Amino acid sequence: MYEEITEKARNIIVDILNQSKLKKGDIFLVGCSTSTIFGEAYGRSSSMDAARALFDGIYPELVSRGIYIAVQCCEHLNRAVIIPREAAEKLRLDAVNVVPQPKAGGSFATVTYERIERPVAVEHIKADAGMDIGGVLIGMHLREVAVPLNLKDNMIGRAHITAARTRPKFIGGERAHYNDELK
């Protein structure tokens, strides 16, 4: 079962990355409720094994492209975000002192904190794209103009997956011309 979760997560992240126009150094946000994968309510069946399986499918694809992972914690940590310290320093983000746990931060944030190099928690981030596993509402940590993505497969177990990329605002009105590479 966990091998299937890893494979589905890998296929979905590849689909998202192919659509999202991310480049090296960009930030990819993941919000995740492992409970929803099993059809349970948020926080009811948190699973470290499912979190590890998801991480094993998602993280290598990001690293191979030079994209930083950012993981939104649950509301028990005020939706703080776990990121590599290198990304926090690059973006000049202030760290906060908290270490996620399965029932305070969530299983996926806990696994991410354990597995990435030099993890740190921050309160706010503006990610370039992201995926929401189970409807945990990642929008507060995306850049201002989010564009929903149509995924080939939008389920892992019983959890619905939504994803978005971001783009710059269009300004200037009807006479303005736009760079198609930024759309």
What predicted TM-score, i.e. pTM, was given to this entire model?
0.94
Question: Are 58 and 114 a contacting pair, CB within 8 Å?
Answer: no
Report the 10 Å Cβ neighbour count for 42: 16
Q: Tell me how far apart the alpha carbons of residues 79 and 61 are, in angstroms, rounded to a whole number.
A: 24
Can you read off the two tokens belonging to residue 86? Answer: 């290198």
Average pLDDT over residues 1-25: 96
Q: Where exactly are the structural domains of the chain?
A: 2-182
Strand pairing category for 27-32 and 68-72:
parallel
Q: What is the pLDDT of residues 85-130, one digit of tens each?
A: 999 999 999 999 999 999 899 999 999 999 999 999 999 999 999 9
Cα pseudo-dihedral 47, 52, 55, 56, rounded to 10: -150
pLDDT of residue 76: 85
Q: What is the pLDDT of residues 151-182, one digit of tens each?
A: 999 999 999 999 999 999 988 888 888 888 88
pLDDT of residue 100: 97
Mean pLDDT over the full length of the chain: 94
Secondary-structure class of domain 2-182 per CATH: alpha beta
DSSP letter for each residue of the chain = -HHHHHHHHHHHHHHHHHHH---TT-EEEEEE-HHHHTTPPTTTS--HHHHHHHHHHHHHHHHHTTPEEEEE--GGGTT-EEEEHHHHHHTTPPEE----BTTBB-HHHHHHHHHSSSEEEES---BSEEEEESS---GGGB-SSEEE---S--EETTEEEEEEEE-PPP-SGGG----GGG-
Average pLDDT over residues 17-33: 96
